[in-house]
Amino acid sequence: DTAVSQTPKYLVTQMGNDKSIKCEQNLGHDTMYWYKQDSKKFLKIMFSYNNKELIINETVPNRFSPKSPDKAHLNLHINSLELGDSAVYFCASSLMGQYGYTFGSGTRLTVV
């Protein structure tokens, strides 16, 4: 019954590797997002995506790329991982952005 689910919950990997985080929502929402939470708990949007438009935060390195096979899924691919990519990544979804945003439980990425 989980509304927004993301996998894996924990991801430990070496520098230079490529990894993906998967996200699925079963709420029928029209827009999905990826957020990064740093070690100071600050939450920053990375991407928003609906079936028409991808908006990329200009500060996000192009090593990060969202991929959406359909309206219910928005996966995050990260190439050439760096130590500074270590963070918690949250997937979220909303309906027209106004009625509440539902977040997944997060993926804690550790790059060693």
Residue 35 is encoded by which pair of tokens?
Answer: 């957020």
35 contacts other proteins (rule: CB under 8 A) = yes
79 contacts other proteins (rule: CB under 8 A) = no
Total residues contacting other proteins (rule CB under 8 A)? 29
Distance CA 11, CA 63 (A): 17
CB-CB contact of 97 with 31 (8 Å)? yes
- b/e for 71-100, b at 16 or more Cβ within 10 A? beebbbebeebeeebbbbbbbbbbeeeeee
* Interface stretch with other proteins, choices 16-24, 65-73, 79-87, 101-109 (CB under 8 A): 101-109
56 contacts other proteins (rule: CB under 8 A) = no
How far apart are CB 94 and other proteins at their closest, in Å? 5
Residues lying near other proteins in the complex (CB under 8 A): 30-31, 33, 35, 40-45, 48, 50, 53, 55, 90, 92, 94-106
